[in-house]
Structure 1
Amino acid sequence: MPTPEGPMPQRGRLSRQIVMSMGLVALITTLIAFVGSFVIYGLLYTFLPPPPGPPEDMLIPQAPDYLIFAALLLVALIVAVIIALRLARRILAPLNSLAESARRIATGDLAARAVPGDRSLGETAHLVDDFNTMAMKLQDMAADMAAWNAAIAHELRTPLTILKGRLQGLSDGVFEPHEALFRGLLFQVEGLSRLVEDLRVVTLQDSGRLQMRIEPTEIGAEVEHAVDSIRPALEEAGLRAELRIVPVILRCDGPRIRQALLALLDNARRYAHPGRLRIDVEPRDTHVVLRVEDDGPGLTPEFARHAFNPFTRGDASRSRESGGSGLGLSVVRAIAMAHGGDVRYVPSSAGGSIFEIDIPRAPVPEPEP
């Protein structure tokens, strides 16, 4: 890491170059006037010697002397203007490129980039680099937003199409009202509700506005409730839940922790091989680890790098059922981060998947007497 003294000389290049250039202009102007006067008067005395007369008269400038001084100053001024224009072009070239790129971005061209030009001018080069970095992030955010909108529209399209078709059929008398049809419609509505809630959690966490009701919670009880609520579905998928819980009081949002665990268990229900499903609660010095481990098949290295990104799905051929929004693991990460923790995936030694949620521990206040 650079020391605090390191960037300072680099950041001062432009100011130093301006001072040095202005000093050089002043020096050149003075030298032209001073040396030029010696040269011209030397030539005049050589080829046009002065007429005889009192030496005092030579100390008083005459009209030709003023013309000589004016000519020398004009030459010095022209040289100074040329040097100043060259310096101005070096400084203004990247700034003009920056202004043009800013105008293009303001009109919607997020691919516009400024040209740093002469990198010996440290401040302008750094300004252009910072602007280009900002423009790149803005373009990436716009692309992510477009991808999010497309993904959300894709996820909403299927259940809405089913609901519209079924309701239109009921309205036209194509379908007879019966309990199975209404259960199917209710299932689609519940899927939409889950999708909306998952989107709300992920977007609120990304904006830093996901609210947590932090209070002392028996984390083991929350885990047991979550497992009991989904146990029939796990058993139907051939998964046998095994709990290993160490009692611990943790300051957290219990329902949110239960929501994150349910997302992991539902993910295992969809993709894991039939067998054991181990759920552990392991207190450590600074945090509590909530772990879910299955017997396989695990995640591929390519997919594991993006598993917690929104709308990322596993291999559909390995899923026991269609559906799933690709937001489950994103919700887990959002809840963990809202608690100041994190979530990670590691492959197990048996070839399965291990998902671990780390929740920092905080002192639990003693109850008041």
Structure 2
Amino acid sequence: MRHYRLSRQITLSMSIVAAIAVLMVFVGTFIFYTIYLIWFPPPPGPPPLLPEASDFILIAIFLLLGLAIAIHTALRLTRRILAPLNSLAEGARKIAAGDLTARAVAGDRSLGETAQLVDDFNAMAQRLQDVAQSMASWNATIAHELRTPLTILRGSLHGLADGVFEPNDKLFRSLLTQVENLSRLVEDLRVVTLSDSQRLDLRVERTDLVKEVQQAVNAMRPALEGAGFSVQITTEPLTLPCDGARIRQALLALLENARRYATPGTIEIRMNLDKQDVVIAVADEGPGLSAEFAARAFDAFARAEPSRSRKFGGSGLGLSVVRAIAEAHGGHARYSTSEKGGSVFEIVFPIDGAPADSNAASCAPKV
């Protein structure tokens, strides 16, 4: 009912105005002639069939009074309607000029539609402001993440060009590591950005998930064992439609996250069916995430306490890539605490491989 409040008020007001005008003409004329005929009795004979000139003048006077009341009422209603609309227009002009803090004032909230329009406008303006602030933060963070490897590469290459450094395998491997870090950062940024714009395409085909898990573990095993970790895998045969390369990429990100931040020990990888979903879990032995950080762990560039970030490095994009890939498959990523007090990161997506939302086209098999 509230969506029709304004139209109802306009209709009701205009109906009252019309009724007042008619009643003023009828009642005013009746009262006037009653008094007039008492003071001035009519002459004998039949009354005239048509109104005389004085009658028309009297009717016109009462019509003018009714019209004046109607104009006054219409102007008051117009001001009530125009006040929030003018505020809305002014806010739109300020936002168009670059002032994203501008907001409209609803004024009289009894006008349901205009108040709702102002609320929607303010919500849109707040969203624009949040997006602009997020973009500024993203640009600053990306510049910061790119600056370190680029500075190392530039300094090393200048040293080679000036003869300060002697070319050797160790130096070349160091430069190659920085290039690989840059490539990984750019790829992570691409995945997260495409996911945010709902344009992350997947190459969906029948995939042996056990094979993808084994490939990811084999790729990370030397680094994990070198950091003091052992890997325990628990899986069951699963072949279903998905993008195997993306699933492997997400699992590699979880293993890299464990290598950087977990306490050396056993990393358990589990893959099982949960009703209509596939669950791939990576569990470590600690120290886990704080409750505050766990709520935003999958956000882009989210990092734990600064001391750990400085010690272990990382761009803060790994878990956001995991979430992006899970959501592109119609699923989600989640975090929980293990019985040992460690972290459990899970990728959950439907068995049929079809997205659960309206972006089904992004996961359709490519021809």
Partner of 1:184: 174
Q: 1:113-140 deviations in whole A, cap 9, x for unaligned?
A: 2222222222222222222222222221
Alignment partner of 1:269 is 2:259? yes
Q: Deviations over 1:2-32 (max 9, x none)?
A: xxxxxxx221111111111111000111111
Q: 1:287 aligns with which of 265, 277, 282?
A: 277
Counterpart pick for 2:183 among 193, 198, 203? 193
Deviations 1:96-155 (A, max 9, x none): 222221222221222222222222222222222222222222221222111111111111
User: Offset at 1:176?
Assistant: 3.0
Contact 1:37 1:68 in 2 (8 A): yes
- Could you tell me which residue of structure 1 aligns to residue 141 of structure 2? 151
Partner AA of 2:207 in structure 1: T
- Distance in 2 of aligned mates of 1:120 and 1:188: 62
Between the aligned residues of both structures, percent identity stands at: 61
Q: Could you say what the CA RMSD is over the residues aligned between the two structures, in angstroms?
A: 2.0
Q: Which runs of 5+ in 1 are unaligned?
A: 1-8, 365-369
Q: Which residue of 2 aligns with 1:168?
A: 158
Structure 2 counterpart of 1:225, from 215, 221, 224: 215
2:47 counterpart residue number: 56
CA distance, structure 1, for counterparts of residue 234 and residue 307 of structure 2: 31
* Matched-pair contact (CA < 8 Å) for 2:330–2:353: no
Cα 1:363–1:97, aligned 2, differ >3 Å: closer, same or farther? closer
Residue of structure 2 equivalent to 1:89: 79
Match of 1:308 among 280, 295, 298: 298
Q: Which residue of 2 aligns with 1:108?
A: 98
> Secondary structure at 1:217's aligned position in 2?
strand
Over 3 Å counting, the alpha-carbon distance change for 1:137 and 1:281 in structure 2 is: same
Give the distance between the partners of 2:258 and 2:50, measured in 1 at CA. 104
1:317 Cα shift? 3.4
Report the Cα offset of residue 292 of structure 1.
0.7
1:214 aligns to 2:229 (yes or no): no
Contact 1:336 1:343 in 2 (8 A): yes
Say whether residues 1:39 and 2:19 are aligned partners: no
Deviations 1:161-200 (A, max 9, x none): 2222222233333333333222222211111100000001
CA distance in structure 2 between the aligned counterparts of 1:51 and 1:262, rounded to whole angstroms: 108
Residue 56 of structure 1 aligns to a residue whose secondary structure is coil
CA distance in 2, matches of 1:363, 1:91: 51
In the alignment of these two chains, the number of paired residues is: 354
Contact between 2:5 and 2:113, CA under 8 Å: does it hold in 1?
yes
Q: TM-score, normalising length from structure 2?
A: 0.91
Segments of 5+ residues of structure 2 without an aligned counterpart are 355-367
Counterpart for residue 56 of structure 2: 66
Q: CA deviation at 1:60?
A: 4.2
- Alignment partner, residue 121 of structure 1: 111
Structure 2 counterpart of 1:42, one-letter code: T
Match of 1:252 among 217, 242, 252: 242
Q: Which residue does 2:21 correspond to in 1?
A: 29
Structure 1 pair 25–92 and aligned structure 2 pair: CA distance change class (3 A): same
The one-letter amino acid paired with 2:130 is D
What amino acid does structure 2 have at the position aligned with 1:65?
A: D
SS of 2:58's equivalent in the other structure is: helix
Asked if the contact 2:329–2:350 (Cα under 8 Å) also holds between the matched residues in 1, the reply is yes
